[in-house]
């Protein structure tokens, strides 16, 4: 009888863990920081703040930093002739934290647009489902391409944002000029199998299948993956597997010693990213980034 009692207690405990996992996924996957609605952003370069409506009563906060470096277009607005980086950030923080990432891009002659997801910073609402999250990003894409030609947009996604960027870039018509993934995970589904193998994968409401999006992606889209070899949050093996999945359709750039938070400041990343942006300014992107995929 005692054994049956222990088994029963274990089953109940497992059920409670599964229930917590199912209903609390947002708090595990998304770690937003809020800002007061009247927060005054402070940066050492010019920027514009915009509100992007994704559904009635729900707006995402966005910051647009105009280009300042070589190759900057002189157009009076954000239409033809200007290039922009649409940046989808990671699962934590807000625009006051992420705005400094603009420096590299604007100094290379590209405008820089970064948005906060629902419930982050000054954005209203809260993330409630994966389809909702993708629909919001689609609306951001519509807002962006109403101001810039799709072929003048470089789509950059970091960590969580890499999964969103991959799906968008591979489905958008017409597509962006280039997709850049920073510290991407193969999928949240794959990460969950490794971190919580005792929880049924069917309970996962945010599989975020970066692998599926890329495997179905148009072959002509240039894709570059940057991943720190010292990343303990999203292991380098995740980015390497995506590189293997894509083969010669993408380029994987390992960043020796870099951790999950180190990518943006890594000297190798900055050199390589600047080269990609210069390539964008030189004219239409080639069908593939043909500089090879280093071993990782």
pLDDT of residue 280: 67
Q: Judge whether 226 lies within some domain.
A: yes
Q: Judge whether 289 lies within some domain.
A: no
pLDDT band of residue 68 (cuts 50, 70, 90) is confident
Q: What are the φ/ψ torsions at residue 244 (nearest 5 degrees)?
A: -70, -35
User: Which residue stretches of 52-118 are H helix?
Assistant: 95-98, 102-107
Residue whose entry in the numeric block shows the structure tokens 């290039």? 83
The upper half-sphere exposure of residue 278, i.e. CA atoms within 13 Å in the direction of its Cβ, equals: 7
pLDDT of residue 271: 96
pLDDT of residue 190: 82
Q: Judge whether 66 lies within some domain.
A: yes
pLDDT tens-digit profile of 184-199?
999 988 877 776 666 6
CB 280 within 8 A of CB 69: no
Sort strands 223-228 and 111-115 into parallel, antiparallel or unpaired: unpaired
**Residue closest to 287 by CA, chosen among 211, 182, 178, 172:** 178
Q: Judge whether 118 lies within some domain.
A: yes
pLDDT of residue 26: 84
Whether the model pTM is above 0.75: yes
- Which CATH number characterizes residue 48's domain? 3.40.50.1820
pLDDT tens-digit profile of 115-156?
999 999 999 999 999 999 999 999 999 999 999 999 999 999
Q: Judge whether 295 lies within some domain.
A: no
CB 124 within 8 A of CB 52: no
Q: Total structural domains in the chain? A: 1
Q: Judge whether 128 lies within some domain.
A: yes
The upper half-sphere exposure of residue 40, i.e. CA atoms within 13 Å in the direction of its Cβ, equals: 0
Q: Judge whether 292 lies within some domain.
A: no
**Residue closest to 205 by CA, chosen among 79, 56, 48, 27:** 27
Structural domain including 197 reads 2-282
pLDDT band of residue 200 (cuts 50, 70, 90) is confident
pLDDT band of residue 13 (cuts 50, 70, 90) is low
pLDDT of residue 9: 53
CB 252 within 8 A of CB 269: no
Res. 290: pLDDT tops 90: no
Q: Judge whether 288 lies within some domain.
A: no
pLDDT of residue 81: 72
pLDDT tens-digit profile of 92-116?
999 999 999 999 999 999 999 999 9
């Amino acid at each position: 009888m005692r054994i049956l009692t222990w088994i029963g207690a274990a089953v109940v405990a497992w059920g409670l863990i599964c229930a917590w996992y199912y209903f609390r996924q947002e708090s595990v996957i998304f770690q937003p920081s809020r800002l007061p609605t009247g927060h005054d952003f402070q940066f050492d370069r010019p920027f514009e703040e915009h509100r992007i409506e994704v559904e009635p009563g729900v707006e995402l906060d966005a910051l647009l930093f105009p280009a300042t470096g070589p190759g900057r277009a002189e157009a009076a607005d954000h239409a033809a002739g200007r290039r922009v980086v649409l940046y989808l950030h990671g699962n934590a923080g807000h625009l006051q934290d992420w705005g400094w990432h603009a420096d590299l891009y604007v100094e290379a002659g590209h405008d820089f647009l970064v948005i906060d997801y629902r419930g982050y910073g000054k954005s209203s609402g809260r993330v409630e489902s994966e389809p909702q999250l993708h629909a919001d990003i689609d609306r951001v894409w519509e807002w962006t391409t109403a101001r810039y030609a799709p072929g003048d947009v470089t789509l950059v996604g970091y960590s969580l944002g890499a999964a969103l960027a991959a799906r968008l870039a591979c489905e958008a018509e017409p597509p962006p000029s280039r997709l850049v993934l920073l510290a991407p995970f193969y999928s949240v589904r794959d990460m969950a199998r490794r971190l919580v193998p005792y929880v049924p994968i069917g309970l996962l409401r945010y599989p975020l299948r970066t692998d599926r999006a890329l495997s179905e992606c148009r072959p002509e889209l240039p894709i570059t993956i940057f991943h720190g070899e010292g990343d303990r949050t999203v292991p380098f093996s995740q980015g390497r597997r995506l590189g293997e999945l894509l083969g010669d359709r993408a380029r994987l750039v390992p960043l020796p010693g870099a951790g999950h938070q180190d990518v943006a400041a890594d000297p190798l990343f900055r050199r390589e990213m600047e080269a990609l942006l210069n390539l964008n300014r030189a004219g239409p992107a080639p069908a593939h980034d043909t500089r090879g995929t280093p071993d990782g």
